[in-house]
Structure 1
Amino acid sequence: MLVTGRKLPIGIQTFEDIRNDGYLYVDKTALMWTIANIGKPFFLSRPRRFGKSLLISTFEAYFKGRRELFTGLAVEELEKKWEEHPVLHLDLNARKYTTPADLDAILNQHLERWEAVYGEEKRDRASEERFAYVIRRASEQTGKGVVVLVDEYDKPLLQAIQNEPLLESYRSTLKAFYGVLKSADRYLRFAFLTGVTKFSQVSVFSDLNQLNDISMNYDFSTLCGITHEELLSNFEPELMALSRANGMNVEEVVDAMTRQYDGYHFHPNGEGVFNPFSVLNAFFSKEFGNYWFQTGTPTFLVELLKESDYDLRLLMDGIETAASAFTEYRADRKNPIPLIYQSGYLTIKDYDKRFQMYRLGFPNDEVRYGFLNFLVPFYTSVTDEERSFYIGKFIHELESGDVDAFMHRFEAFFADFPYELNDQTERHYQVIIYLIFKLMGQFTQAEVHSSRGRADAVVRTPKFIYIFEFKLNGTVEQAMEQIEEKGYAFPYTAEDQQVIKVGVEFSAEKRNVERWMVAKEI
């Protein structure tokens, strides 16, 4: 039993279960009702564990006329008819897709269930023909428009993202299957598809070009997720319990949750939302953990980053891009940003209306540090288990002024690097440097720069300010000279902390740190 005495719907994706079993529910039914009554075929892209399955289940209960499940919710006052419609609910989330037969099996499983109700005359035909027939028969038999709900339409495609032949097979099957929704339009009352990604119009949805994509619609930007107001109004007992468990007041708890879980924006001017999965788990565990990130490691995203030779420093600092560059993924283009954005690791931070350019960045600290921590084993020889130990030691050594110990430990991140230092691997070194200092930023004020006219990195501790300059194709003397000539230390001379300048030289032969030099401001 929770201290608050309330049941949190962690992992509960069925609206009926939430309502019948007394789970807490954040009311999104006014938005649901609006969508259900302003059009017919809709598409919504949201990251995993953002409530897409629950939304689909809510639509299903609504269109089945289950009025009793909506008692006390906004839609109870909005809906006057409560008509029951035939609902075809296709859930592609609960299976692993490794062969074309896996996709055929899940489609066949759903089709057989629908055919058992509405007729089996086309059972020997292709899946798309059977789908079209079931829709028509359901409408004719009930005299009502059919509702088609597709949960995680792109699950097979995502699992085959690095296997082009398999991806093409899935794409061909799903293109024909989803294309039925256009030809069957006269029999449909409503259609709603959800997924993580928006694949290019020339692939899966090319035959379904009338889809109304509301993924970046202002009015529905808070359809999935928890707003700041919803957090305060729905979770007061949980906020109090979390504050008591952590020795914080409620305002401090809300601030901590905002830094850790808020910050998702699905429209440049839309209200931001908290990650619902992390919020519920934080309330349940009474700890500010990295719950969402731990539920799915984005290995395929890291592989895409490495294959595309994408400069990770741009990703870490935030990138500017046109909407088309991050909203539609094309498998034939080596641009990982659309998948990273749509998977929830980047979000909209700003929008330049004049030039129609978006700025994307990490939504919050859970994603920022979760993603950076996850990258370390892919770019260094340091294991997951060692990473936290190293970062903690880095902080202690700089706080105590032991630069030599810091640099000796720094070398471990570059050990066993397999290539000669050249243009390609120079960026790899720079990425590792970025990772180290960005991860230190969890515990102390650390900045790492890529622009000219600024030191490569600056770290603030209670007693010291460190100015770092790295030379991948130069000497330690040149690094120190650059610190002096460019006046990198000047902005910090009025600070209370002692300024320490550190020049670092890398060796192409050793493929590691060769020398470093330390100078302290008097």
Structure 2
Amino acid sequence: MRSMIYPVGIQSFEEIRKGDYCYVDKTAQIYQLVKTGKYYFLSRPRRFGKSLLISTLEAYFQGKKELFHGLAMEALEKEWTTYPVLHLDLNAQKYDTPEALIHVLEENLQYWESLYGASESEIGVARRFNGVIRRAAEKTGKNVVVLVDEYDKPMLQAIGNEALLTEYRNTLKAFYGALKSMDAYLRFALLTGVTKFSKISVFSDLNNLEDISLQQAYNNLCGITEQELLENFEEGIRVLGQHNEMAYEETCKSLRQWYDGYHFSGHAGGLYNPFSLLNALKSREFGSYWFETGTPTFLVELLLRSHYDLHRLTEELATADSLSGIDTMETNPVPILYQSGYLTIKGYDKRFRTYTLGFPNREVEEGFIKFLLPFYSATSKADSAFEIVNFVHEVENGKIDAFMRRLQSFFSDTPYELVRDLELHYQNVLFIVFKLLGFYTQAEYHTSEGRIDLVVKTDKYIYVMEFKLNGTAEEALKQINDKHYALPFATDTRKLYKLGVNFSLVTRGIEKWLVES
């Protein structure tokens, strides 16, 4: 029996089919898409299968019937008409100057004009695009298909540079305007991207685009369902389990914890991240494959600038309207966190049309929290992994003074811009540190006005901790005893420590701690 070939990093439908790579059949949904509408927009996180979807549509509209042998589309489609396809991929380019975007658009236009002709009277990329669409339809006798992969890549790279962002917006707004003005010559159009720049932006004129990003019918158009995983990758799951000395069910459970959990509709089932899943099956190792391909620092800078309370990451609320755009991201970073894949839908309140958001899985939660630490503490990026490992070891070995000194060091040199909101900063740092601790131990913490209480359980120890803000360590310890926080662990055989900790706004750090065993 030949081993499964995983298409890691391959986004060409034709290459996957001709190379006999494994392919999860999405063609029934693609057929529904092309037969029930004309203009679409789909938002999904990076490396979630958008490029493969575009490539599959391109092969379909080019009438390449042989590539669909054995797939649902083979039985569904009867005509296999060939259309002129204009495929624009804005993904693989660095956009740092106004000319960078123009060069990419012109390069594509020149190729299309070589096929369908050009006109000297058409000045500028927008007018040339209009002309190409009209001539392609007239020359072939078939209306045109426009497929745009990562339509928003230039604007995402320009975030933080308002002048460049405005330049890109204006260029693309005029360019994509062809999708409305050339309606008579178009058969189908799909724009994919991570975000939706709406209102006064690219989408303000494109009100004919149907946004299917939150539609239940297309929740799993990209991504892999639990059923698809079990039907297509049983052999790969067994091999992964054998390599890690895990039973089949245990392997499935770990895959679920690491890579499942994405929801793009309030009532739809969970989805696995295809990039991470395929990498894990191919390498036979569990790892943070998606996360390690690059987390933009601008996301964390947004969290800092908007003075975001990190505790909300685990129980955030958002409206359907807010999730569809990112135009208020300077004051509300939640939509861009959702669209980028760091948060996902956990529940839906139909009455108020609000979504509950949270981390999709362990890969994203652990990776993102680790990524946050250097931005919120005095720890450098190079040292943060080392600091976390030592902190966990000290907690596990009962070295209270050592781990408290390390915790104290996380608060030293608080960035000046955070001084004016020290209470939030102090709670955010504790959230990061004890969230990280919770990946390796059992950590439960509760917050209320001006204080945090925390319980950490390891194999040998239980720590009951109370943090005061501008109080005293004595008051914190007294509260543990007065409110009987340790009572639930009275019969536990592990050694129990009570820690009262005071955080001072004057010294901007942990001032004192007291221990009682």
The normalised TM-score by structure 1 is 0.95
TM superposition shift of 1:4: 6.3
**Aligned pair in 2 of structure 1 residues 164, 423: CA closer, same or farther (>3 Å)?**
closer
Aligned length: 517
Q: 1:371 aligns with which of 359, 365, 368?
A: 368
Q: Which deviates more, 458-467 or 17-26?
A: 458-467
Structure-2 residue corresponding to 1:328: 325
TM superposition shift of 1:133: 1.0
1:107 aligns with 2:105: yes
**Aligned pair in 2 of structure 1 residues 32, 83: CA closer, same or farther (>3 Å)?**
same
1:430 aligns with 2:427: yes
CA distance in 2, matches of 1:20, 1:381: 52
Corresponding letter in the other structure for 1:268: G
Deviations 1:66-105 (A, max 9, x none): 0011111110000000000000001111111111111111
Corresponding letter in the other structure for 2:309: D
Corresponding letter in the other structure for 1:460: K
TM superposition shift of 1:489: 2.6
CA distance in 1, matches of 2:156, 2:328: 10
Structure-2 residue corresponding to 1:131: 129
Corresponding letter in the other structure for 2:325: E
CA distance in 2, matches of 1:202, 1:486: 54
TM superposition shift of 1:194: 0.2
Q: 1:259 aligns with which of 257, 281, 284?
A: 257
TM superposition shift of 1:286: 1.0
Contact 1:455-1:467 at 8 Å conserved across structures: no
SS in 1 for 2:207: coil
SS in 2 for 1:477: helix
**Aligned pair in 2 of structure 1 residues 241, 408: CA closer, same or farther (>3 Å)?**
same
1:173 aligns with 2:177: no
Contact 2:418-2:425 at 8 Å conserved across structures: no
CA distance in 2, matches of 1:26, 1:263: 18
Deviations 1:40-90 (A, max 9, x none): 000000000001001000000000000011111110000000000000001
Structure-2 residue corresponding to 1:291: 289
1:319 aligns with 2:316: yes
Contact 1:242-1:287 at 8 Å conserved across structures: yes
1:477 aligns with 2:474: yes
Q: Which deviates more, 187-196 or 323-332?
A: 323-332
Q: 1:191 aligns with which of 189, 192, 197?
A: 189
Contact 1:18-1:24 at 8 Å conserved across structures: yes
Deviating beyond 3 angstroms after TM superposition, the runs of 4 or more aligned structure 1 residues are: 418-423, 451-455, 490-499, 507-510
Corresponding letter in the other structure for 2:344: T
SS in 2 for 1:462: coil
**Aligned pair in 2 of structure 1 residues 11, 422: CA closer, same or farther (>3 Å)?**
closer
Structure-2 residue corresponding to 1:150: 148
TM superposition shift of 1:462: 2.2
1:213 aligns with 2:211: yes
Structure-2 residue corresponding to 1:248: 246
CA distance in 2, matches of 1:398, 1:310: 28
SS in 2 for 1:446: strand
Corresponding letter in the other structure for 1:512: G
Corresponding letter in the other structure for 2:300: V
CA distance in 2, matches of 1:491, 1:326: 41
**Aligned pair in 2 of structure 1 residues 411, 516: CA closer, same or farther (>3 Å)?**
same
TM superposition shift of 1:455: 5.0
Structure-1 residue corresponding to 2:515: 518
1:401 aligns with 2:381: no
Structure-2 residue corresponding to 1:503: 500
Instruction: Indicate the RMSD between aligned Cα atoms, in angstroms.
Output: 1.9
TM superposition shift of 1:7: 1.5
TM superposition shift of 1:174: 0.7
**Aligned pair in 2 of structure 1 residues 420, 28: CA closer, same or farther (>3 Å)?**
closer
TM superposition shift of 1:498: 3.8
CA distance in 1, matches of 2:235, 2:88: 37
CA distance in 1, matches of 2:163, 2:450: 48
CA distance in 2, matches of 1:410, 1:180: 57
CA distance in 1, matches of 2:376, 2:336: 20
Q: 1:490 aligns with which of 487, 490, 500?
A: 487
Contact 1:122-1:130 at 8 Å conserved across structures: no
Corresponding letter in the other structure for 2:318: T
Q: 1:384 aligns with which of 373, 376, 381?
A: 381
CA distance in 1, matches of 2:304, 2:329: 15
SS in 2 for 1:272: coil
TM superposition shift of 1:353: 1.6
Contact 1:438-1:448 at 8 Å conserved across structures: no
Contact 2:450-2:468 at 8 Å conserved across structures: no
Contact 1:318-1:362 at 8 Å conserved across structures: no
CA distance in 1, matches of 2:375, 2:352: 36
SS in 2 for 1:456: strand
Q: Which deviates more, 444-453 or 49-58?
A: 444-453
Corresponding letter in the other structure for 1:219: A
Contact 2:422-2:505 at 8 Å conserved across structures: no
Deviations 1:476-517 (A, max 9, x none): 111112223333333333444343211112234443322101
CA distance in 2, matches of 1:155, 1:473: 46
Corresponding letter in the other structure for 2:60: Y
Q: 2:157 aligns with which of 156, 159, 169?
A: 159
Contact 1:421-1:508 at 8 Å conserved across structures: no
Corresponding letter in the other structure for 2:320: A
Corresponding letter in the other structure for 2:396: E
Structure 2: tracts of 5 or more residues without a match: none
CA distance in 2, matches of 1:282, 1:421: 39
SS in 2 for 1:301: helix
TM superposition shift of 1:429: 1.6
TM superposition shift of 1:441: 1.0
1:84 aligns with 2:70: no
Deviations 1:225-270 (A, max 9, x none): 0100111111111111101110001110110010000000000111
1:280 aligns with 2:278: yes
Contact 1:420-1:509 at 8 Å conserved across structures: no
Contact 2:243-2:284 at 8 Å conserved across structures: yes
Contact 1:41-1:190 at 8 Å conserved across structures: yes
CA distance in 2, matches of 1:207, 1:279: 38
Structure-1 residue corresponding to 2:358: 361
TM superposition shift of 1:333: 4.4
Structure 1: tracts of 5 or more residues without a match: none
1:18-29 to 2 correspondence within 5 Å?
18-29=16-27
Contact 2:260-2:273 at 8 Å conserved across structures: yes
Corresponding letter in the other structure for 1:381: A
**Aligned pair in 2 of structure 1 residues 229, 48: CA closer, same or farther (>3 Å)?**
same
1:25-44 to 2 correspondence within 5 Å?
25-44=23-42
Deviations 1:142-170 (A, max 9, x none): 11111000000000010011111111111
The normalised TM-score by structure 2 is 0.96
